[in-house]
């Protein structure tokens, strides 16, 4: 398998899952300097913002499957670097989809719940998209291009807000919360913004099943089993590590109207048909919490609490 974004939260989880099931993974990374990645038998450094370079490596590997987990996945980062985000979030998946079509090989592309505006939840995979931020618009356009380029081979999975243990200990939701706490800042979280969280490992199992199966192609949703407010998510993360509630400060979207205008309020997802056709099951939040570890960069701070 060719795996782009192998050093990211989902990419690293996918490499581990694929290796456990006996697959050979060639991981594509950009500026990763952290050494070997568990599950990836080979790593290649490629500038994926260069469409020609991305196409060349995909053709050279001539893999039995392509999985795209590379992206600039934070809305603020997309706003800060829109041209780079366009190349990675839109042009790259389109290139990989064309290669997959040329090679007649399965292609799994990771999209986002952010293609919806959050005003008409729950969302099924057939509902019209209406993104309200640049990241969502880029993801929606990538979906369109991927499914047009490789309709017989592509799976597009819209993923939720994720938790997990990243390779660097600073990328996922709970890791960023620890970073704020270690710097002496409480975490502010909306009580009126709702998400269905799951772990990157749970999502990776879904992506792997889609690669392995030949009967599921098209556009799908995946998320956790519970719809929770951002405040409840943050509060339960703190509680899971036996940290006080005072580290999480409730707030309302009305408190920050400019920021809230680019944030969908409710992204409840209808998981049919995947939830009924895969071995992997939607994850309850307490089960997700059990998988989280204290991020290595903040363990000294944590031990002092």
Domains of the chain in start order, with CATH, are: 2-164+200-225+269-283 (3.40.50.720)
Report the pLDDT value the prediction gives residue 157, as an integer from 0 to 100: 98
β-strand partners of 219: 156
Residue 162 has pLDDT above 90, yes or no: yes
- Nearest to residue 230, comparing CAs of 260, 202, 200? 260
Mean pLDDT of 59-87: 96
Residue 45 CA to residue 41 CA, distance in Å, equals: 14
What is the share, in percent, of the chain residues with pLDDT greater than 90?
97
Backbone conformation region of residue 164, classed left if phi is above 0, alpha if psi is from -120 to 50, else beta: left
Residue 29 CA to residue 221 CA, distance in Å, equals: 26
Residue 279 has pLDDT above 90, yes or no: yes
**Torsion from C-alpha of 6, 7, 13, 14, nearest 10 degrees:** 0
Cis peptide before 122 (omega within 30 of 0): yes
Model pLDDT for residues 167-190, shown as the tens digit of each residue:
999 999 999 999 999 999 999 999
3-state secondary structure of 154: strand
- Assign 96 a pLDDT band (cuts: 50, 70, 90): very high
Report the pLDDT value the prediction gives residue 133, as an integer from 0 to 100: 97
Model pLDDT for residues 214-252, shown as the tens digit of each residue:
889 999 999 999 999 999 999 999 999 999 999 999 999
Report the pLDDT value the prediction gives residue 31, as an integer from 0 to 100: 85
Residue 161 CA to residue 237 CA, distance in Å, equals: 14
Contact 94, 70 (CB under 8 A): no
245 Cβ contact list (under 8 Å, min separation 6): 235, 238, 239
- Assign 136 a pLDDT band (cuts: 50, 70, 90): very high
Neighbouring CB atoms inside 10 A of 74's CB total 12
Residue 46 CA to residue 60 CA, distance in Å, equals: 13
Residue 30 CA to residue 7 CA, distance in Å, equals: 9
Name the average pLDDT for the chain.
97
Give the count of alpha carbons within 13 A of 283, CB side only: 28
Q: Residue 151 CA to chain centroid, in angstroms?
A: 22
> Which DSSP letter does residue 195 get?
E
Model pLDDT for residues 11-54, shown as the tens digit of each residue:
999 999 999 999 999 999 988 988 999 999 999 999 999 999 99
Q: Where are the alpha helices (DSSP H) in the chain?
A: 9-20, 51-61, 75-80, 82-86, 92-103, 134-149, 173-182, 200-212, 230-240, 257-260, 274-277, 285-291, 299-303
Report the pLDDT value the prediction gives residue 214, as an integer from 0 to 100: 82
Residue 272 CA to residue 124 CA, distance in Å, equals: 8
Q: How far is CA 303 from CA 74, 111, 297, in A?
A: 30, 37, 12
Contact 158, 115 (CB under 8 A): yes
């Amino acid at each position: 398998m060719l795996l782009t974004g192998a050093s990211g939260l989902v990419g690293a989880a996918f490499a581990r899952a694929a290796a456990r099931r006996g697959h050979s993974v060639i991981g594509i990374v950009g500026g990763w300097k952290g050494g070997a990645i568990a599950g990836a038998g080979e790593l290649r450094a490629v500038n994926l913002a260069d469409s020609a370079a991305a196409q060349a490596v995909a053709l050279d590997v001539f893999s039995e499957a392509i999985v795209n987990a590379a992206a600039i996945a934070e809305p603020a980062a997309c706003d800060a670097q829109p041209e780079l985000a366009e190349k990675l979030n839109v042009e790259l998946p389109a290139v990989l989809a064309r290669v997959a079509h040329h090679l007649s090989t399965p292609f799994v592309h990771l999209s986002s719940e952010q293609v919806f505006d959050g005003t008409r939840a729950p969302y099924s995979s057939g509902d019209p998209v209406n993104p309200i931020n640049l990241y969502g618009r880029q993801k929606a356009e990538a979906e369109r291009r991927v499914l047009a380029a490789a309709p017989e081979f592509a799976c597009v999975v819209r993923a939720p807000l994720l938790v997990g243990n990243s390779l660097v200990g600073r990328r996922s939701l709970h890791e960023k919360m620890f970073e704020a706490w270690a710097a002496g800042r409480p975490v502010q979280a909306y009580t009126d913004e709702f998400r269905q969280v799951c772990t990157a490992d749970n999502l990776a199992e879904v992506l792997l099943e889609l690669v392995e199966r030949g009967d599921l192609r098209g556009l799908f949703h995946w998320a956790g089993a519970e719809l929770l407010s951002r405040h409840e998510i943050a509060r339960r993360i703190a509680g899971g590590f036996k940290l006080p509630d005072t580290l999480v400060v409730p707030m309302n979207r009305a408190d920050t109207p400019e920021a809230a205008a680019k944030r969908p309020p409710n992204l409840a997802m209808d998981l049919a048909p995947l939830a009924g056709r895969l071995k992997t099951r939607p994850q309850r939040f307490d089960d997700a919490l059990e998988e989280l570890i204290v991020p290595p960069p903040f363990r000294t701070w944590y031990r002092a609490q």
